[in-house]
């Protein structure tokens, strides 16, 4: 019996040791896979840019777009983009088009799941998910020139006013409140769909004169600052507060482009020696507190809003000619006509890249990547605007049979995905989709591309807010978690279908 018992004890010890070894091997395997998942390259590494003064070019090799050449690397033929649903305009709006006299604009507000349409002096808003919950405001007498949605500063309005609607006419800037019946009492949280009970408050919260300034676009920061682009080439801000102070009004317009000494120059001389270059786009990087503007003639300006987002200083301005010259020096064999005009600029947030901050898209689909500060310094404030990479669109490689993009008039960039709408003819657009999700770890950057026809002319391109995967940070791994977000292939199991 002792020998049998001893044999059983040895076998048990051996099994426990084997189990322990298997668990340790499994742990090491998981650690290795997690470490490999964390080794994804920064965008600047994908673009093979080591420093701002070492710019690069890509898009001319067959392997830059590997699915477009014969006999090259291929993946299953999966659609890059597909239509989920088509929602027609509310029938009440179709009738309004017959009364239009002067101007019509359209856009979308993803934070509140609304599309909007202006017809002369009236604005209409409805839920773009189902075409319902139509609201309108017809209290203006002048044509609406620009529209913006703002998440207001904290502590100024009643809890039910969750957003502000800013309207600009040739005469006034009017700020309306958006109220929601489905705000949860006490918590101040909207329900998931935001599809019920939205109301435009009939009485404006603020109204101030434009001082004969035509305003072309309106945008805002996450902390509630409102910026407006002027046809006169100036950047304006509407500063607002709850009550007027001894030395400040409740609401006032600030010109951030004119010197405080400009009043010393007679207006006649200013008119004679200056040529207006309207600002047509404002983009804000809320992750770094940087504001960018693009003018009609392609001038890009950079403003530093400060670490806390409350400052304002212009730090760089680059003309379109300077950008074209820099791009031509980087891609010397390419016709410089594809580098202008710039039709869209887009922010590259810190969650995607530490070193690249801005993307510009030209009418030919060329992407121009810019840096505003030294590399590998995530806390540095912007002090320049330097072209660091030129990415040519599909069709530029020697063996490519893909038709090159042309007549691009709108673009959307989000998390490495680029959408571009190009005019095929007066009645249709071509929608391009280019992204590197299929090859997230491949250096240099490899991308797939796809085109699809869009019936009609594209008025707006917007990304619907997606669920963000929270990083799991513990005392043990805090020094190993990258600042930038991981690729979709790494976090896809944590996202809902």
Which CATH number is 43-263+272-455's, of 2.130.10.10, 3.90.550.10, 1.10.1380.10, 3.20.20.70?
Answer: 2.130.10.10
Q: What is the pLDDT of residue 142?
A: 94
Q: What is the pLDDT of residue 189?
A: 36
Q: What is the pLDDT of residue 11?
A: 64
Contact predicate 342/331, CB 8 Å: no
- Count CB neighbours of 92 within 10 A: 11
Contact predicate 415/489, CB 8 Å: no
Q: What are phi and psi of 184, to 5 degrees?
A: -75, 125
DSSP 409: E
- Distance between CA 379 and CA 388 in Å, rounded? 19
Q: Is 365 helix (H, G, I), strand (E, B) or coil?
A: coil
Q: If we measure between CA atoms, which residue out of 244, 57, 221 comes closest to residue 151?
A: 221
Q: Is 26 helix (H, G, I), strand (E, B) or coil?
A: helix
Query: How open is the CA angle 474-480-484, to the nearest 5 degrees?
Result: 100
- Distance between CA 244 and CA 237 in Å, rounded? 17
Burial class (CB in 10 A: 0-12, 13-18, 19+), 106: middle
> What is the residue-level pLDDT of the chain in tens, covering all 497 positions?
455 556 666 667 777 778 887 777 777 776 666 655 555 688 899 999 998 899 999 999 988 988 654 454 555 566 778 888 888 888 888 877 777 777 899 999 999 999 999 999 999 999 998 888 889 899 999 999 999 999 999 889 888 899 999 999 999 999 999 987 654 433 333 333 344 578 888 899 999 999 999 999 999 999 999 999 999 999 999 999 887 654 456 899 999 998 544 444 454 444 434 468 999 999 999 999 999 999 999 999 999 999 999 999 999 999 999 999 999 999 999 999 999 999 999 999 998 899 999 999 999 999 999 999 988 887 899 999 999 999 999 999 888 888 899 999 999 998 889 999 999 888 899 999 999 888 877 889 999 888 999 988 899 999 886 666 565 565 555 555 555 565 665 566 556 65
Q: What is the pLDDT of residue 183?
A: 46
Q: Is 471 helix (H, G, I), strand (E, B) or coil?
A: coil
State how far the alpha carbon of 320 is from the alpha carbons of 11, 208, 298, 330, in Å: 78, 34, 5, 15
- Say whether the peptide bond before residue 444 is cis (omega within 30 degrees of 0): yes
First to last CA, the chain: 60
Q: Which residues contact 410 (CB under 8 A, 6 or more apart)?
A: 343, 344, 420, 421, 458, 460, 461
Q: Which residues pair with 360 in a beta bridge?
A: 345, 368
Longest Cα pair distance anywhere in the chain, in angstroms? Answer: 115
Percentages helix, strand, coil for the chain (3-state, rounded to 5) are 20, 30, 50
Q: If we measure between CA atoms, which residue out of 335, 399, 332 comes closest to residue 362?
A: 335
- Distance between CA 229 and CA 215 in Å, rounded? 6
State how far the alpha carbon of 160 is from the alpha carbons of 31, 188, 197, 200, 465, in Å: 47, 8, 11, 11, 22
Q: Which residues contact 251 (CB under 8 A, 6 or more apart)?
A: 175, 206, 207, 208, 238, 239, 240, 241
Q: Is 158 helix (H, G, I), strand (E, B) or coil?
A: coil
- Distance between CA 336 and CA 57 in Å, rounded? 14
- Count CB neighbours of 298 within 10 A: 23
Domain ranges of the chain: 43-263+272-455
Q: If we measure between CA atoms, which residue out of 454, 349, 356 comes closest to residue 408?
A: 454
Q: What is the pLDDT of residue 18?
A: 80
Alpha helices in 80-128 (DSSP H): 91-96
Q: What would the two tokens of residue 171 be? A: 């005469």
Q: In what order do the strands lie in the sheet with 367-371?
A: 56-58, 386-391, 367-371, 358-362, 342-347
């Amino acid at each position: 019996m002792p020998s049998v018992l001893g044999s059983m004890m040895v076998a048990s010890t051996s099994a426990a040791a084997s189990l322990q070894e298997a668990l340790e091997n499994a742990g090491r395997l998981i650690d290795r896979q997690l470490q490999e998942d964390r080794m994804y390259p920064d965008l600047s590494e994908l673009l093979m840019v080591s420093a701002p003064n070492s710019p690069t070019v890509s898009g001319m090799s067959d392997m830059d777009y590997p699915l477009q050449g014969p006999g090259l690397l291929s993946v299953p033929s999966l659609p890059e983009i597909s239509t989920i649903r088509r929602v027609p305009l509310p029938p009440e709006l179709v009738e309004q088009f017959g009364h239009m006299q002067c101007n019509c604009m359209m856009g979308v507000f993803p934070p509140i799941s609304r599309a909007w349409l202006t017809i002369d002096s009236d604005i209409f808003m409805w839920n773009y998910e189902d075409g319902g919950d139509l609201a309108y405001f017809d209290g203006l007498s002048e044509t609406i020139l620009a529209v913006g949605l703002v998440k207001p500063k904290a502590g100024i309005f009643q809890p039910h006013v969750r957003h502000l609607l800013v309207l600009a006419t040739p005469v006034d800037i009017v700020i309306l409140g958006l109220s929601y019946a489905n705000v949860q009492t006490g918590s101040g949280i909207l329900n998931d769909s935001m599809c019920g009970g939205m109301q435009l408050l009939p009485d404006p919260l603020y109204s101030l004169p434009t001082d004969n300034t035509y305003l072309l676009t309106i945008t805002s920061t996450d902390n509630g600052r409102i910026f407006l682009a002027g046809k006169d080439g100036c950047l304006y801000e509407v500063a607002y507060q709850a009550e007027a102070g001894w030395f400040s009004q409740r609401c006032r317009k600030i010109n951030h482009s004119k010197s405080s000494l400009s009043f010393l120059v007679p207006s006649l001389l200013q008119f004679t020696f200056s040529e207006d270059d309207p600002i047509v786009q404002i983009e804000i990087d809320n992750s770094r507190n940087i504001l960018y503007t693009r003018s009609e003639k392609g001038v890009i300006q950079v403003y530093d809003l400060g670490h806390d987002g409350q400052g304002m200083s212009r730090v760089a301005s680059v003309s379109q000619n300077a950008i074209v010259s820099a791009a031509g020096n980087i891609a010397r064999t390419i016709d410089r006509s594809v580098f202008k005009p710039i039709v869209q600029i887009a922010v590259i947030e810190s969650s995607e890249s530490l070193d690249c901050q801005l993307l510009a898209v030209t009418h030919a689909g060329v992407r121009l990547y810019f840096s505003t500060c030294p590399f590998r310094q995530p806390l540095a404030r912007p002090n320049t605007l330097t072209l660091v990479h030129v990415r040519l669109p599909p069709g530029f490689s020697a063996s490519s049979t893909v038709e090159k993009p042309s007549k691009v008039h709108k673009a959307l960039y989000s998390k490495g995905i680029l959408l571009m709408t190009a005019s095929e003819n007066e009645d249709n657009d071509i929608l391009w989709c280019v992204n590197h999700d299929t090859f997230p770890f491949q250096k240099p950057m490899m991308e797939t591309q796809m085109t699809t026809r869009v019936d009609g002319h594209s008025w707006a391109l917007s990304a619907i807010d997606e669920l963000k995967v929270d990083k799991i940070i513990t005392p043990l791994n805090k020094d190993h978690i990258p600042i930038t977000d991981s690729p979709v292939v790494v976090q896809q199991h944590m996202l809902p279908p």
